[in-house]
Structure 1
Amino acid sequence: MRKMQGEEFDSLVSFFDDMARTKWLGAVHDELKQASGSWEEKSVLDVGCGTGRLLLRGVEEASMLTGVDLSSEMIKASKQNFFFLNRSNKSHFSEGDACNLAFEDDSFDLSLSTCVMFLLPEPEAGMKEMIRVTKKGGKVVMLNPSLQMDQMAAFSYAKKHNMSGFEQTSLLKWSNVSTKRHRYSPDQLSEKLKGLGAKETKHVEVLDGLAIITVASL
């Protein structure tokens, strides 16, 4: 599988920003935030931060919020979103490759990644990097599609929950991409993360089991 280029995502800034503000993904982000525990006075990293919407949820708690994305346009949008809320002083955004993060070992208390690891040609390389830059005693928290996620299952979910318009379209697009990349069971994720050094893992099923929030304690 070829390496991804940042330019592939530059034109999708509006789509991803709108998707991050949908009811379905917004609710998942809220669940992930809760599953990750308190961000109080913590240094938090978001790998594949998109337009920074997830990090904004902890802007009043965390000591510093850092976002990395392959797309320069996503980084511009993240900086803009924090600037509008007068929180630029608590954030740092930069272009970067999830599989080659430009940070020292043990740099962050908490590392997050949503809708990203499953896209990578080699997701294990991204997971390994997240664990490397996270302090011992810290956590790595991810969102990935489950083995149940596919176009038909996503459509059934959308119908069940009376989704329409962009809410439905964005979920169906995510399901379509996931079937072409990587999907996981909780056991598969636990095996990979423990093999990379995680001490403990727990999983929270979201979207009626179509996706998994994974919390790995280091």
Structure 2
Amino acid sequence: MNGEEFDELVSFFDSMARTEWLSGVHDTLKDKTGSWENKDVLDVGCGTGRLLLRGADEAARLTGIDLSSEMVKASIQNFFFHNRSEKSEFVVGDACDLPFEDGSFDLALSTCVMFLLPEPQLGIKEMIRVLKRGGTIGMLNPSEKMNQREAFQYCKNHQISGFEQTAMLKWANVSTRRHRYSSGDLTALLKENDLFEVEHHEVLDGLAIVTIAKK
């Protein structure tokens, strides 16, 4: 994987982040991670920064990292438009080699990213490394149920059409070619890396899983 693969997809991913279905998942993730008040928050694979904007009024510091330089530029621009540039930082970097010191963040997030990596466990270990003791990790991953047929049925059941349907079907297609997880898989992976209080919340009628855990 390289950042140039995603440079031309900025508009697509920004629009996807604003779909009703993914916006709803982001709201769930924000809710399940609790208050961001006075916290240093990291989003690995931040895209255009839409998830981090949800906590811009609470957090002490918001940091986003993405492999794509164009995604990073879009994040900087979005935070400028929302007048939140002073408490944010966006950098180009690899999820499997984060350019941050151990124990730098209170909360580490990742949505629609880890399952894309050739070795997702390496990215998850990096998220844990840069997390403070007592900090929280929050992730979104496609479940084993996710595929084109199930995604299409979800769209049909919820009257989702147009771009919103196209975005979900593309996510489903990529998921089946990369990595999907059960709650048990995720629990085992996180506990192997000394996380605890692992909890899972099914979203999108079970097509995806929001996972929260403590270090």
Shared fold, TM over 0.5: yes
TM-score where L is the length of structure 2: 0.99
| Contact 1:44 1:66 survives alignment (8 Å) | yes
Give the equivalent residue in structure 1 for 2:112: 115
Contact 1:44 1:108 in 2 (8 A): yes
Matched, 1:142 2:157: no
Q: Displacement, 1:37?
A: 0.7
Kindly, what percent of the aligned residue pairs are identical?
68
Q: Does 1:31 align with 2:28?
A: yes
Q: Which residue of 1 aligns with 2:170?
A: 173
Q: 2:113 matched to 1:125?
A: no
Runs of 4+ in 1 over 2 A off after TM superposition: none
Query: Which residue of structure 2 lines up, in the alignment, with residue 105 of structure 1?
Result: 102
SS of the equivalent of 2:140 reads: strand
Gapped regions of structure 2 (runs ≥ 5): none
In structure 1, which of residues 83, 90, 96 is the aligned counterpart of residue 93 of structure 2?
96
Provide the rounded CA distance (Å) in 2 between the counterparts of 1:52 and 1:181.
Answer: 23
SS of aligned partner of 2:55: coil
The one-letter amino acid of 2:98's match is: L
Tell me which residue corresponds to 1:154: 151
* Structure 1 residue ranges without an equivalent (≥5): none
Post-superposition Cα deviations, 1:170-195, rounded to whole Å, max 9, x if no partner, equal: 00000000000000000100000110
In 1, the alpha carbon distance for the partners of 2:12 and 2:130 equals: 29
Which of the numbers 65, 83, 86 marks the counterpart of 2:62? 65
* Displacement after TM superposition at 1:200 (Å): 2.2
Partner of 2:41: 44
Aligned residue number for residue 209 of structure 2: 212
Rounded to whole Å, the distance in 1 between the matches of 2:135 and 2:173 is: 33
Secondary structure of the corresponding residue to residue 93 of structure 1: strand
Per-residue CA distance 1:65-86 (angstroms, 9 max, x = gap)? 0000000000000000000111
**In the alignment, is the contact (CA less than 8 A) between 1:202 and 1:215 conserved in 2?**
yes
